[in-house]
Amino acid sequence: MKGQIVAAKCIDLSFEGKGVAKYDQGIVFVDGLFPGEEAEVEITYTRAGSNFGKIKKLITFSKDRIQPRCPVCTACGGCQFQQLSYQAQLAFKKNKVKNAFSRTAKINVSVNDVIGMDDPYFYRNKIQMPIAKDKSGKIITGFYKANTHVIVPIEKCYIEDERSSPILATIRALMKDMRIEPYDEDKRTGVIRHILIRTSYYKKQIMVVLVTNVNSFPGQRNFVNALMAKHPEITTIVQNINKRDTNVILGNYENILYGKGFIEDSLLGINYQISSKSFYQINPRQTEKLYTAAIEAANLSKEDVVFDAYTGIGTIALLAAKHAKHVIGVEIVNQAIRDAIRNAKHNAISNVEFHAADVADYMTQMADENHKIDVLFMDPPRKGADEGFLRSVLKLSPKKIVYISCEPETLARDVKILSSRYDVISVQPVDMFPQTHHVETVVGLYLKK
C-alpha cells in the first residue's frame, strides 16, 4: 500500500484539517487537499487502519485555494491552511465546533460565527525554534517536519511576530563568526539547543532566551554584547540551562544575561509581567476579543464571587475583578501563582486572591465547607478537565460557568457531563490561530432552574 499512487477526490476536511479523499479502495487523509479537489495522491503510511498520503499532482482546484505566502508551508507542518482562503478557514472552524457538540456531547447548539482577524498573519508573540547544522554545515533554525526530528529551515515565518526573524538571523551569523556550536541531538554535544523569543504587542518589548546545554560558554559576554549592538530593541536576554536528554525545551535553571528577565504587556488595560516560562496567550489581538467574549458570557455583577480555575498568571481573574465583588484564582503551578500575585499588586487590584493548589481539591473543600461562588471561569489545558474537577464543579454548583477551550472535542466531552445540571446558553468561537486547524471557544453555561 505504501508508495501506491491513487486518483482521489476530497469530500471533506478532517478534525485536524486534512483532506478526506475518497478513492476506489477507500479513504486517504491528505494534507493541503480541500473539498471538491481531485488529485493524484501517494499513500505514504498507514496508522490505526487509516491511510495517509501526499499530493503528487493536483488535477482540479477548489475556489477557496489561494497562493500561500510561505514557500515552505507544505514542508514545515506548522500551518495547515495557508493555501485556504481565510473565510473558508473560519467556516471550517465554526463547523468543527458545531460537529464536536453534536457528535460528542449529543447536543445541538447554535454556534456564533467565528471572530476572526483583520490581518491573519504575524500574530504569534512567542517563537521557539531548534537550532542545528544542515548537511553542508550551515547553521539553521526552523521547525520540525511533522512526525520527524528533521528541521525545516525557516528564514521568515508568516505567523510569528515579524520582529523575530531578523534577530534569529543575527544569532545564526554570530554563532558562525564566534564558532559557537549548535546542539547535536545524537552526539549530545554543542552549546545552543533552542532559541525562544517572546514579544509584547503594546509595550514593544522583546525577550530572547538562549536554551543551552552548558552553564556558560566561551565568548558568552561578547555574544550578548554583539546581539544587543545589532538589536537594541531587545529588552532582556535570558540563558536557560537544559542538559537533559529530553524533548522538553526549557530546563529548570536560568541566568539573566541582560535586562530584567521578563517583559511586560497589556490586555484590556491590565499590565502583565511575562517571564520565559509564563503561560500567556499567543495571539494578543485575538486574546482581547476572547476575554471580552468570556466576560460578556459571564454577565458579571458587583455582587458576584468569582472562581478562576487554571488561573495561570491571573489573566482572567484580574479582568473579572473589575466587574465582580471578589475573585479567587487557583493554579497548581507555583511560579504562575507568584506571577499572578505580582500582577495583582502591579495593577493595584485588591479584590482578588490566588492560591497554588489542585483546583479540584480546592473546589471540593469549598463545597464541603458550604462556600458559594456565583461564576466559574475554567480554561483547562488541551486535554480538557479531568473527572475529579468536573465532579467538584457539580458539587459546588456555581450559578454560571464560562468554559474557555482550545480543543472542541474535549470541550464537548466535558460539557456533556456538565449538561446534567447546566444549560448551554452561548457558544462563541474565536480564531486565535489563523492558518492552522485550531480554534478557541467560549461557552456560557447557566445552572438549570
Residues noted as catalytic? 406
CB-CB contact of 105 with 413 (8 Å): yes
Q: Which of 26, 32, 1 is nearest to 14 (CA)?
A: 32
All three cell numbers of 136, joined, read 553542508
CA angle 416, 360, 303 (to 5 degrees): 85
- The whole-angstrom separation of Cα 238 and Cα 120 is 30
CB-CB contact of 49 with 36 (8 Å): no
Positive or negative, the CA dihedral 51, 91, 434, 294 is negative
Q: Which of 126, 114, 156 is nearest to 283 (CA)?
A: 126
DSSP 8: E
- The whole-angstrom separation of Cα 252 and Cα 241 is 7
> Which H or E run contains 173?
helix 164-178
Long-range contacts of 213-221 (CB under 8 A, 24+ apart): 213/183, 213/188, 213/189, 213/241, 213/242, 213/243, 214/241, 214/243, 215/241, 217/180, 217/191, 219/178, 219/180, 220/257
CB-CB contact of 92 with 435 (8 Å): no
Q: What residues pair up with 306 in beta bridges, in sequence order?
A: 327, 375
All three cell numbers of 310, joined, read 487554571
- The whole-angstrom separation of Cα 338 and Cα 341 is 5
